[in-house]
Amino acid sequence: MDSVDVVTHRTETLSLLSKRIGDPNEAVNDVTLTAVARYVGQVILCNNGNNAEETKLHMNGLERMLALNPDFEPSNQVREMLFWTDLTAAALCHAPPRQLTKRPNIRLYGNPMLQTPRSTIGIVCRGFQKIIADHEVFKSITDILHDLRCLTAVAHYSDCKVHSEMPIFVSLCFGVGERLGGLLAMGGSTVFESCRLAAMVFAEIVLLHNNTPNAVLLAAGMKRTLNRANIEVLLQQQPELLTWILYMGNMAAFGTEMAPWFLRRFAQALSFQGLSLFETVRNVLIEFLWLDGVSNEHLKSVWSEVQEMI
């Protein structure tokens, strides 16, 4: 329960914000938007994720504020704050990001006018979108993939430094991991089961930098699942997805006796598709789940070993 001082401070803050929003000349400008976004951010970060309804209420208010003056465009700094708030709230509320400003945030989503986006965030999960459309079994994790994409954007925005220390971020990541862990194997689908485990690797190891014994268990589960199937057949069915799964297996198995097994299978997947350049391989992987800082460094390490095997 909040202390009396916290409740008093919150009440006073809301009262001041309400007065400012009620003034037509002050309702929509950088100062007011910053104040509201920071308040919503505090609501999100300081309550351990147990405040989805309050967060949704404040986000509705922020959206209505911007609707008062649809031609207003915040400064770059305020836009980035709004997008951070938007993406974190979306992950917490399991809802689509509201995209609060007219122009897309270039840092998060890439510049659509450029052939190559400045950020990979704009194409994260695009590979899954194709698979979900064709395979009913994957529709059961659509909402989880959405949450992972939002969390990836938050991590990307914080430059891989601050997010893993935020209690709400950690709580949301572990929540996604628990939901993935609670799913039952669907109809004996090797690809789905190994993909589910690979997504858990991404949530726990990539987003949280969490090198725990659970990584070994996830790698063992992926190896056991894939060993029950014919890799060549899987490559013919889902070559790009399997490439990403094996890459995540390499990450989970790093430094263990399972690492050579995943490395060989990863090399097999690259050879099957004729992928012989680092950038070409990277372009395949970023369409699933990918975080530039962490994923790039690990791929460089794997690439130094695997390119001789292709």
Rounded alpha-carbon distances, angstroms, from residue 282 to 115, 209, 240, 288, 290: 16, 20, 11, 11, 9
227 vs 104, residue with greater confidence? 227
What's the rounded Cα separation, in Å, for the pair 100 and 144? 22
Rounded alpha-carbon distances, angstroms, from residue 87 to 9, 35, 152: 26, 18, 9
Q: Give yes or no for residue 222 having a pLDDT over 50.
A: yes
pLDDT tens, residue by residue, 179-193: 888 876 555 688 889
| % the chain with pLDDT above 70 | 75
Distance, C-alpha 68 to centroid of its chain: 31
Mean pLDDT of 32-43: 79
Q: Contact at 8 Å (CB) between 98 and 90?
A: yes
Which one-letter DSSP state was computed for residue 287? T
Q: Give yes or no for residue 6 having a pLDDT over 60.
A: no
Element (H, E) at 84: helix 76-93
pLDDT band at 105 (very low <50, low <70, confident <90, very high): very low
283 vs 104, residue with greater confidence? 283
Mean pLDDT of 296-303: 93
What's the rounded Cα separation, in Å, for the pair 198 and 304? 22
| Tokens 């485990």 belong to residue | 197
The torsion of the CA quartet 120, 271, 302, 160, rounded to 10 degrees, works out to 10
Mean pLDDT of 244-265: 95
| % the chain with pLDDT above 90 | 29
Which residues fall within 8 angstroms of residue 194, CB to CB, at 6 or more apart? 222, 225, 226, 245, 249
Mean pLDDT of 256-280: 96
Phi, psi of 72 (to 5 degrees): -75, 135
Mean pLDDT of 112-119: 38
Q: Give yes or no for residue 112 having a pLDDT over 70.
A: no
What's the rounded Cα separation, in Å, for the pair 275 and 186? 30
pLDDT band at 50 (very low <50, low <70, confident <90, very high): low
Count the Cβ atoms, other than its own, within 10 Å of residue 255: 9
Quick one: pLDDT at residue 240?
Answer: 95
Q: Average pLDDT, whole number, for the chain?
A: 79
Query: Which of 139-153, 161-175, 222-236, 242-256 has the weakest average pLDDT?
Result: 161-175
Quick one: pLDDT at residue 186?
Answer: 52
Mean pLDDT of 28-41: 81
- What pTM did the predictor assign? 0.70
Amino acid at site 285? L
Domain boundaries, the chain: 4-103, 121-309
Quick one: pLDDT at residue 118?
Answer: 42
Query: Which of 138-147, 162-171, 262-271, 284-293 has the weakest average pLDDT?
Result: 162-171
Rounded alpha-carbon distances, angstroms, from residue 141 to 48, 193, 221, 253: 24, 11, 19, 24
277 vs 142, residue with greater confidence? 277
Quick one: pLDDT at residue 116?
Answer: 35
Count the Cβ atoms, other than its own, within 10 Å of residue 86: 26
Mean pLDDT of 231-254: 94
